[in-house]
Amino acid sequence: MSTLIDSDVVVWLTRGHIGAAQRLHAVNHWRISAVTYMELAQGCRDKAELARFLTAVHTCS
């Protein structure tokens, strides 16, 4: 069974929040919705933040 993760948690992860990273690593199978993915990609402040977001999503899930 997968756990659906809210956009706030992914934002915390991309901004270096250690607690968010630890929680996500503790969840075996987590996912974000397509809507959340697009919200987060569109909300990135610059290309560096977009790169951190994409790395976080693709390496942690």
pLDDT at site 56: 74
Q: What is the mean pLDDT of the segment spanning 21-27? A: 87
The chain-wide mean pLDDT, for the chain, equals 85
Q: What is the mean pLDDT of the segment spanning 38-54? A: 88
Following DSSP, what letter does each residue of 7-46 receive, concatenated?
A: HHHHHHHHTT-HHHHHHHHHSSSEE--HHHHHHHHHH-SS
37 has a pLDDT exceeding 60? yes
Evaluate if pTM is beyond 0.85.
no
21 has a pLDDT exceeding 80? yes
Q: How far is CA 4 from the centre of its chain?
A: 11
Domain residue spans of the chain? 3-60
Exposure of 9 in the CB half-sphere (CA atoms within 13 A): 20
pLDDT at site 18: 93
